[in-house]
Structure 1
């Protein structure tokens, strides 16, 4: 061993041993874990989260080492089959449809298999894998996501593992983009650049994006790029990049009213028009008279039919049960009211807060998504990754607590394939998050942030 390597080992041997242990734990997580093994799942995740904290604590200024480790942890999961979510089967199904020139928004998998199942390679196995719920509904993934699925299937030669490797490569590049733009924005906001590692090394991010191939990372990469361009005074490119973010995941649509304060009424309107036009251009290849009806019908299910890992909705449901309200009627009523409450909250933050700088925008975005996820009937673990990124540019850290406790939501799969939520575990998850949020609100006296600065 050369003197330089020996010196490096002596300086960083504890961190390197921690990294080796993390790599072994990610290997166990990706290749030797079933979703129903809840105790094993929690032990592995808790250990990874603690070791992530120690790595950042010991090496927070060693950017090169932590960057390499984050990439290596993702590479460990490169050849695994996602074990916590079966959504990837639907991604592959939609990707195959796009490649053969069919519109994924016009057919349900069940219906297409009955009429012409031979169109889709491995159609039977993909249909079984995605489950009856996904198979019975139209696709709800936005246009750019569909194109990324198609590219992944093409690069993977139509094979499941090859397509997964292609998806993970795209997500790895997106995470590098988040690291790049996130670090730049942190410096511009006079915040410690090492905070980006609370995203880049976060086990929730590595497992849900790198392992379970959810495309929130691509959406967030475009969003941070747009914020950086806004800070640089390049609002036209920022609008086009933001449209790409929306075309991957619809979540940033909620942020559009914020820009009226950022740019003023006239330029804000032009910015919003450019964003909408950009989204429309990405949707143009999929245009069909039935497109909007099918898409909105599927999207509405998230508000009125599905429920998972909810907080406020579960409280409402419990109160409703004491009044003998039927659960299936309650969620439909709640689903009609919930969007209007979110719209009111977005309007409040858009027109009462300043939102002049990207830093103000990041805080408003965090507050919008926080209420949205607190009220939503469905909160899958990977949804919260957006909060993890945005909180790094603010004084709030409760999303990091949430990223640690979210693993408790997987208690619902202890009886896999049947999904049975445990209210006890959900109470622990949300009490931790709410308690820390209240602590931070009083610590920073953040209630006054809703009042205009001028």
Structure 2
């Protein structure tokens, strides 16, 4: 493990310079190699002395994050919008009211944050209310990108603690936390790029822990708060709900209403850029970046209404999978976590996000469940780190085909392995 840690350190040390000189493809190659090494480290960690291994795992995890924190965000400028939104709210202005380039906000502009805000003259903020609460609180400590990233690292520390707590609860080696701490996806997307998904994951996992230990309504409130950071956490609610129980849906609705209440002065504008361009920009409205639909179109061509049909079928698939998880007869924490993991993988497959940080939601499950499909998706997500301004661009349908093709192959491998194990057990019993 120490040897792998040394190699991972070396890869991380050279990655910013490789990106600067050779572009995003060098970043992707080095990060994927680091991800594959993390798989090996996880297998070794399960057989290592717990005390000594944890010192190594946590120490290196902190060191990697401290190092990448020294560099400006390499692959995303979203964190600058976070600081801006916090500054706007501190001035008593609704962040959903004006675009950053609006002259009404000219007095808030500076040279450190404003020039780096993406979509400054085309979009108001997209981030839901709980994310906005977080931006306001953090910027009262300091209006800088570094302060925001440190706050997100604090959220990540809560995630790590909860992973360890849950690993103990499901009787798995706590050293499996290495799967999260050494994985390049959270290292770069949280410590360097500073994505608010770190808050979403921390709240989601906290809500799950509360709910799975017998306090479902309180857990539902916390998970709903995570949804109001990034909506990708919504399917997790199926893992704590029981069919025909109306209390959880009512609690969810009440939490959403209360959180949006402070921003309702702009009416439907609280939905921000989401309904006014994001779905189009991300190729969802037109179906261009929905991977399964894109493959269908390659074979059968475009058809009028195919996006609506795809969305309906995807919603139906998620509904049935969510209902299956909610009605599952397996009540152990380990089985519930595995069910939620698969539901999130299905969600990512059907929505096929365009950015690697959207896959941070499955990172706790790499350590908790460690299934081949989860590993395949978490490492494959690094392929989405491409930047369009570099000469050698991998078409998104190609990178997504590798990513989700890896998911299907991993699922097939997991099914084959489970079948072989059942056959071995059956043979032994006879």
Residue 29 (structure 1) aligned with residue 7 (structure 2): no
- Closer, same or farther: CA 367–386 of 1 in aligned 2, 3 Å: same
Instruction: Name 1:337's counterpart in structure 2.
Output: 312
Contact preservation (8 Å) 1:38, 1:414: no
Contact preservation (8 Å) 2:224, 2:255: yes
Contact preservation (8 Å) 2:85, 2:136: yes
Instruction: Name 1:137's counterpart in structure 2.
Output: 123
CA distance in 2, matches of 1:180, 1:427: 34
Deviation at 1:103, TM superposition (A): 1.3
CA distance in 1, matches of 2:233, 2:9: 33
Task: Identify the range of structure 1 (276-285 vs 418-427) with the bigger mean alpha-carbon deviation.
Answer: 418-427
Deviation at 1:434, TM superposition (A): 1.6
Residue 107 (structure 1) aligned with residue 98 (structure 2): yes
Instruction: Name 1:64's counterpart in structure 2.
Output: 55
Contact preservation (8 Å) 1:209, 1:217: yes
1:198-217 to structure 2, matched below 5 A, reads 198-217=179-198
- Closer, same or farther: CA 436–336 of 1 in aligned 2, 3 Å: closer
Task: Tell me the SS of whatever aligns to 1:69.
Answer: helix
Contact preservation (8 Å) 1:231, 1:358: yes
CA distance in 2, matches of 1:395, 1:129: 37
Residue 277 (structure 1) aligned with residue 257 (structure 2): no
Contact preservation (8 Å) 1:384, 1:399: no
- Closer, same or farther: CA 354–106 of 1 in aligned 2, 3 Å: farther
Deviation at 1:445, TM superposition (A): 5.0
CA distance in 2, matches of 1:398, 1:174: 26
Task: Tell me the SS of whatever aligns to 2:195.
Answer: coil
Instruction: Name 1:429's counterpart in structure 2.
Output: 403
Deviations 1:137-172 (A, max 9, x none): 33221112112223333333x3xxxx2222222222
Instruction: Name 2:414's counterpart in structure 1.
Output: 440
Q: 1:297 aligns with which of 275, 279, 283?
A: 275
Contact preservation (8 Å) 1:349, 1:364: no
TM-score normalised to structure 1 length: 0.79
Instruction: Name 2:364's counterpart in structure 1.
Output: 389
- Closer, same or farther: CA 18–190 of 1 in aligned 2, 3 Å: closer
Contact preservation (8 Å) 1:216, 1:385: yes
- Closer, same or farther: CA 114–236 of 1 in aligned 2, 3 Å: closer
CA distance in 2, matches of 1:341, 1:168: 38
Deviation at 1:293, TM superposition (A): 5.5
Gaps of 5+ in 1: 1-13, 449-454
CA distance in 2, matches of 1:91, 1:82: 13
Q: 1:86 aligns with which of 61, 67, 77?
A: 77
- Closer, same or farther: CA 414–235 of 1 in aligned 2, 3 Å: closer
Instruction: Name 1:4's counterpart in structure 2.
Output: none
- Closer, same or farther: CA 36–333 of 1 in aligned 2, 3 Å: farther
Residue 220 (structure 1) aligned with residue 201 (structure 2): yes
CA distance in 1, matches of 2:84, 2:258: 23
- Closer, same or farther: CA 295–179 of 1 in aligned 2, 3 Å: same
Contact preservation (8 Å) 1:35, 1:416: no
Output the aligned Cα RMSD. Answer: 3.3
- Closer, same or farther: CA 151–135 of 1 in aligned 2, 3 Å: farther
CA distance in 1, matches of 2:302, 2:250: 47
CA distance in 1, matches of 2:132, 2:412: 39
Contact preservation (8 Å) 1:30, 1:211: no
Task: Tell me the SS of whatever aligns to 1:432.
Answer: helix
- Closer, same or farther: CA 390–116 of 1 in aligned 2, 3 Å: same
CA distance in 2, matches of 1:26, 1:334: 44
- Closer, same or farther: CA 433–256 of 1 in aligned 2, 3 Å: closer
TM-score normalised to structure 2 length: 0.82
Deviation at 1:224, TM superposition (A): 1.9
Instruction: Name 1:195's counterpart in structure 2.
Output: 176
CA distance in 2, matches of 1:274, 1:35: 51
**Matched pairs, number:** 412
- Closer, same or farther: CA 380–257 of 1 in aligned 2, 3 Å: same
Instruction: Name 2:426's counterpart in structure 1.
Output: none
Task: Tell me the SS of whatever aligns to 2:241.
Answer: helix
- Closer, same or farther: CA 189–135 of 1 in aligned 2, 3 Å: farther
Task: Tell me the SS of whatever aligns to 2:240.
Answer: helix
Deviation at 1:213, TM superposition (A): 0.9
Deviation at 1:435, TM superposition (A): 0.8
Deviation at 1:208, TM superposition (A): 1.0
Contact preservation (8 Å) 1:174, 1:217: yes
CA distance in 2, matches of 1:180, 1:233: 19
